[in-house]
């Protein structure tokens, strides 16, 4: 199992994460899916049924030991760790600032920011540990999931916007820290993506989202996965510390 490049995808059980896991597997990566729900198991089964290599590990990204087990298990199973896609995240119940619920604020920060940091920490530790007895270590790529709300404001978005903006600058900092180590850090900022979560919204709300898109439609999860696949591979070797706005032109307005 050590011949294929190995990737970990958190939040890989649905939506963008599912599309990323499938896309990486199609490209020949051995994929470890970490998710707090059981849907990741079904995604792994689909990959394996098509002849790919995948496994599912129940993971809470706010729990260091859970994340450590995810990263180290991926390296043991697939002969190393080459790519992390820190995609796990949760939405925010929007509210005006003067009605801010600090417990809900903290939960969003814990998952969307601290969870990314914890995943990055243990991915890097695992990658460096795997290089100890390797004469010519392979380069590695870490891709963090930000958002258009890392770059533009939105009314009543408090913790989510703060967390995603922080993820962007956290990614830049990590990129500088490990630039000479052959570990690249980049982030993707998706716009409005047609995920199962958005499918549950009222049609009026969806129409308003589409009206704000310069390309006139919602993005597809597979389009975000294509960007991640590019950042994972050697074709993006010149990129580290970059934040890619995969938003259909939203932030160009």
Could you read off the pLDDT of 135-191 as tens digits, one per residue?
A: 778 899 999 999 999 999 999 999 999 999 999 999 999 999 999 999 999 999 999
Res 207: pLDDT: 93
Sheet strand arrangement including 6-10? 54-58, 30-35, 6-10, 83-86, 140-145, 183-190, 243-246
In the residue annotation, 178 being an active-site residue is answered as no
How far the first Cα of the chain sits from its last, in Å, is 46
Could you read off the pLDDT of 44-103 as tens digits, one per residue?
A: 999 999 999 999 999 999 999 999 999 999 999 999 999 999 999 999 999 999 999 999
Q: Of 29, 160, 178, 192, which one is the catalytic site residue?
A: 160
Taken in order of first residue, the domains within the chain and their CATH numbers are 6-191+221-252 (3.40.50.720)
Could you read off the pLDDT of 22-40 as tens digits, one per residue?
A: 999 999 999 999 999 899 9
Q: Are 86 and 170 in contact (CB under 8 A)?
A: no
pLDDT at 2 over 70: no
Res 200: pLDDT: 83
């Amino acid at each position: 199992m050590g011949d294929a490049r190995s990737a970990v995808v958190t939040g890989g059980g649905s939506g963008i994460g599912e599309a990323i896991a499938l896309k990486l597997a199609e490209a020949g990566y051995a994929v470890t899916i970490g998710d707090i729900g059981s849907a990741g198991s079904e995604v792994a089964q689909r990959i394996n049924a098509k002849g790919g290599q995948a496994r599912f590990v129940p993971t809470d990204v706010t729990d260091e030991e859970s994340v450590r087990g995810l990263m180290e298990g991926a390296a043991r199973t697939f002969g190393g760790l080459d790519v992390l896609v820190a995609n796990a995240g949760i939405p925010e119940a929007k509210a005006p600032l003067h009605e801010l619920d600090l417990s809900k604020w903290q939960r969003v920060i814990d998952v969307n920011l601290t969870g990314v940091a914890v995943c990055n920490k243990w991915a890097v530790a695992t990658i460096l540990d795997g290089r100890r007895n390797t004469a010519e270590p392979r380069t590695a790529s870490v891709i963090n999931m930000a958002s258009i709300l890392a770059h533009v404001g939105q009314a009543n978005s408090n913790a989510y916007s703060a967390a995603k903006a922080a993820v962007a600058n956290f990614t830049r900092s990590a990129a500088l820290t490990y630039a000479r180590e052959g570990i690249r850090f980049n982030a993707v900022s998706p716009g409005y993506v047609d995920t199962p979560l958005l499918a549950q919204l009222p049609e009026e709300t969806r129409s308003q989202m589409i009206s704000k898109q310069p390309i006139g439609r919602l993005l597809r999860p597979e389009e975000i996965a294509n960007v991640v696949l590019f950042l994972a591979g050697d074709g993006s070797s010149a990129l580290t510390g970059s934040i890619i706005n995969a938003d259909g032109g939203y932030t160009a307005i």
